[in-house]
Structure 1
Amino acid sequence: MKLIRYGAEGAEKPAMLDDAGLLRDLSAHIADITGDTLDDATLAKLRALDPADLPIVEGEQRIAPCVGNIGKFLCIGLNYSDHAAETGAAIPEHPILFFKANSAIVGAYDDVVMPRGSTKTDWEVELGVVIGKTAKYVSKADALDHVAGYCIVNDVSERHYQTQLTGQWTKGKSCDTFGPTGPWLVTRDEIADPQNLDMALDVNGKRMQTGNTATMIFTVAEIIEHLSSLMTLHPGDVITTGTPPGVGLGMKPEPLFLKKGDVMDLTIQGLGHQQQKVDQDA
């Protein structure tokens, strides 16, 4: 099942995508797609609906972030062996954790706006994991039972802020619009193996990133096991799990970064497509 939120910011409505690619409104069945509606029982009720009985969403609509009222936005860094190699970083012994401010979250087709003076804004296609059931001290074997579904996340990063403004990575990860999320929340029953998903990112039509979640250092299950040993994961929390090689920072002979007017296109197998145009604060 592919769940989607549509509408203007602050007035989003829930929908599902039918087999013909039409949006079907779910407002008569749930108020929104949030942690309150991502439990297995509610998802089972939605799955049992006949999409043909749901109203078609007419007209062009803004595609909103696929989860509303996200609790924690947790991010794993340097989690692809081939990405670590391109940046010259050592393989981490444990998952590297940083947070992204919730104010960074935007829809899959909303603009990405670089902060004033930014010259090192970078792209990162990532698999997003949406928690559907409270997780505390869960084992790797049980971890995926706590997942509601998966989505695409663009972990946009300002590398100067990330590495040269005294502090932690969060500074370079949390700028407004730096967390496009969606377009769909694809429920876990549709993703047979989250560790075998092709992923790609283009800038201005040129392929920059090509990868597969098989090269993750820590699997989705291992990440959930680790994080749930540190903190309780709640329904509606989102974990973004690292990026494959091809980021601008790793380009040779010189790094390559985004500029105003650039267009990013992101895909992950089974999870749809994102596109963002790049703008810059004056």
Structure 2
Amino acid sequence: MIGTLIFTIYPFISSLIYSFTNYDLISKPKFVGFANYIEMFTTDPDFVRSLKVTIEYTILTVPIQLIFALFLAFILNFKLKGINFFRTAYYVPSILGGNVAVAILWKFLFNKTGLVNQVIQTFGGKPVGWLSSSSNAMFVLVILGVWQFGSAMVIFLSALQQIPTDLYEAARVDGAKKWTIFFKITIPLITPTVFFNLVMQLNNKLQEFNSPYLITNGGPTKSTYLTSLLIYDNAFKNFRMGYACAMSWVLFIIIAVLALALFKSSNRWVYYSDGGQN
């Protein structure tokens, strides 16, 4: 309870209060009303641009990550010799993916003289400016984001293992093909898990910070300048904590609206074990 009050509830409420102030972390906060919110939508082009970049990054990363996680979970669900080793190996990226050391290693891999370009040159290709091109830099971040599929994969695997085998046996007796079984039995029965993973990954990717900060630092030409980086720069580089708090609350509202929209839409496509929908 004390930890929740100090590290969650207090910062949550205080950030809302500071969002209506001009606060530089040193002087006493000065109340400015909605000035911070008006500024970010009218005179700050970086904010709108960062929102677009954040949404682009999320749209590119989340679907591919979930599809890849489900595909591997489906394969790892088979009872094969040594399957536990592969389950553990594929889960490791989710533990290390957000690690600072991994992000730095990723930056070196895709550097002009990094391992990726060395492999390309080995096969006669020309080195690619992965981190100097806007589209390539985003591609590097998306690949790292997709690589962090372990947690979603484990949750998918747990859902797949809970599907009754007699449903598959009955479908095979009726002559159903593998693709029909997958899309008519497997997918509908794991839609609650798909929904959970979708909400969680959207929340995580919209707040991504480590990867773009350590690998590209928002560049080149702010093509990977996610909203989390803009908030950080305003809070701890420009010492505009009040303005940064206002941005944080706008981002929070966007995430909340998307989550509510997903919950609302779940009535149409999420099925539960009793055969009904949410």
TM-score normalised to the size of structure 1? 0.23
Whose helix proportion is higher, 1 or 2? Answer: 2
Between 1 and 2, higher relative CO (CA 8 Å, sep ≥ 6) is seen in: 2
Structure with larger Rg: 2
TM-score normalised to the size of structure 2? 0.23
